[in-house]
Chains A and B, each alone.
Chain A
Amino acid sequence: MSERAASIKPERAISEAAALGEKLARGAELFAKLCDDEVRIATTPKDEVWRQDKVTLHHYRPLAPVTVSVPVLIVYGLIGRYTMADLQEDRSLVRNLLKLGIDLYVVDWGNPTRVDRWLTLDDYIDGYLDECVREICRRHKVGKISLLGICEGGVFTTCYAALYPEAVKNMVLTITPIDFHGDTAENRLGHGFINLWTRSLAPEDIDRLIEAHGTLPGEFMGSVFSLMTPMRTLMKYNLDMLEVMDDEKKFLNFLRMEKWIADRPHHPGEAAKQWLKDLYQDNKLVNNAFTISGRVVNLSNVTVPVLNVFAKDDHIIPPATSRALGAKVGTKDYTELPLPGGHIGVFVGGTSQALLGSGIAKWLAERQ
């Protein structure tokens, strides 16, 4: 070993250390100046138009003349919050769609607690989501609307479109799992960990977890997500933050993302059992064995036009888990839109988020 001489250049090490010190000093100054109010997310103006229990429906104010007459409802899941679609002014799917003439609504599931332990996916899909669709139809005097599902919310809209095709004009899915065992198709390192982890549990482990907590705690799911990008998580608050902390714009971007990550609601317990056991473990959706309110969700009943958007490097929802839908739906008007980037990058990444908004708007406009 003594002959070995890989080395770090001392002069560079010293100058880097000095630069680092300056960066930290500038960052500390900026950090002291910023307050929480300045780290605002989901700022696009909207009005609450309906509420039931903890669920609220919001209508976005237009940012341009409406060119697509059929209103669109954004449906996020119960893991995370819809604010991802409107993270900041220059990285907002919501703003991009509004500027392109889409009439847009969003449903906010609120903050479930242990009180909501007994809510099921049936309640969310056949209850609240159905009520939202009806309310929008009533307001616009139309018989059907378009749905835009995101992640778990995409599963909600898929089930809804299969159960109530007569109420849906078009369906856009983004980063939505359909075949929950599709992660094994590619078996990429670091991809599909939630699928693998959930399958490593026994069904009774999940039952007891819900019995103990009443919900699937938001912080628990946050930890599982952190495990998926282990070194990124470990480095985030030193190296990553260090890179941006002396640049106000970049630092605010970083903090907005952190704010979204920190806002992780609890997942109602019974609904979480269905999500983890029926879907992640037993893979019932793609096998047409999942039931909502006693009715089987048969994917061949999805006869409306479908745009399926997936991220090519999505480590949470590997592409194969989304793309499985194509072979199952009962419509010939099925389109896939692969975008560069990962699960979140699709919404906030420089290239993808622009392609996402324009791609969806164009597809909807062609199917009015």
Chain B
Amino acid sequence: MDPTQYMKALAELWGQGGWSFMTAQQNLLREMAERFGRPGGEGAPTGETSFFDPQVLGQANEAFLRLWSSALELSRTFARNMQQGRDPDPLVSGLLARIFDPSAWFAGADGMDAVLTRLAQGPRLADMWNTERRMLNVLNAWTTLRRRSLEHNTVMLEAWLQAAGSFAKILNEKADRNEALGSWREVLALWVETANTLLLETQRSDAYLKSQRELLKASTDLRLAQQEVAEFYSEMFGYPTRAELDDVHKALTELRREVRALERALRDRPAGRSPRRSGAAKPVPSEGQLP
């Protein structure tokens, strides 16, 4: 492709992609606001009678996927065009596709979202589905987590879009000045610099910090709801519960603390007042004996 035509196509692509992205985002937000704004539809666990409507989450997911698929297509096309329409090298194509992949912006490559989700979901308890109201709480907490995740990812997608817009603007300004970019590496360096600044600014925004906090809270709530189920069944089948184990560990830590303090007190006694070598210490009870 002629370089001029290439740049023209690229600039138009950014514009069209950005427009459809924004439209889709507005639709998503409206849809989410309507659904979660319904009475009883806030999404937060509300106790025994909490709702679970898989359609709500499914539709929010669909809307989100529509929203971000346009961004993904934009990035893929951009990565393809970086090779100037010649026979693409699959290695380079793969690399570029990854670099311009907006999904990487959802809290980083191995990001918080994935980590929180993994931490929260832990062991799957699907085989106990529909048996107790506790499971409903788990499901509601999971729904809330997905919702918070979508909200957070929307903040990140918005940032990606802004970065893409700034990037295109810089390219166009260079074009206006008839400046040539030496190589795709230079273009990548420009993208990294532009995107990094915008990402860092986004991270300091109230919207980002709020959605991050809500995501953290939702993952914690899910984990705790799951633990409640685990506690219930542990008790039912006579296994030690997490709370009991925590109690044991707490007692152990306190005992160790006391031993350390006692040892120190003994060591720090003034000379001549050291404990007697025998007789002072209590005998160690034999196995099975309690002191």
Contacts and interface: CB of A to CB of B under 8 A. Distances in A.
Contact of A13 (B84, B115, B201): B84
B246 A224 contact: no
Contact of A227 (B108, B220, B224): B108
A234 B188 contact: no
A12 interface: yes
Contacts of A242: 95
Contacts of A237: 109
Nearest to A12: B183
A77 interface: no
**Secondary structure call for the B interface:** helix
A220 B119 contact: yes
Contact of B180 (A7, A219, A227, A238): A7
B176 A227 contact: no
A115 B251 CA distance: 11
A200 B3 CA distance: 47
A17 B250 contact: no
B252 to A, nearest CB: 8
B108 A8 contact: no
Contacts of B86: 10, 13-14
A212 B115 CA distance: 14
Contacts of A234: 99, 104-105, 108-109
A132 B161 CA distance: 53
A210 B18 CA distance: 41
Interface in A182-223: 189-190, 193, 196-197, 200-202, 205, 208-209, 211-214, 217, 219-220, 222-223
Interface string B243-271: 00110011011101100100010010000
B69 interface: no
Chain A interface size, as a band, is 35 or more
B98 A238 contact: yes
Interface-central residue, A8, A190, A238, by most chain B CB under 10 Å: A8
Contact of A21 (B89, B115, B186): B89
B125 interface: no
Nearest to B98: A238
A4 B254 contact: no
12 contacts: A7-B3, A118-B250, A118-B254, A189-B201, A200-B209, A205-B213, A208-B217, A209-B216, A220-B112, A233-B109, A234-B109, A239-B188
Interface of B: 3-4, 6-8, 11-12, 82-84, 86, 89, 91-92, 95, 98-99, 104-105, 107-112, 115-116, 119-120, 171-172, 174-176, 178-188, 192, 195-197, 199-201, 203-204, 209-210, 212-213, 216-217, 220-221, 223-224, 227, 245-246, 249-250, 252-254, 256-257, 260, 264, 267
Interface of A: 1-10, 12-14, 16-18, 20-21, 24, 52-53, 114-119, 123, 127, 130-131, 134, 189-190, 193, 196-197, 200-202, 205, 208-209, 211-214, 217, 219-220, 222-224, 226-227, 230-239, 242
4 tightest A-B contacts by CB? Answer: A4-B175, A7-B3, A6-B175, A231-B196
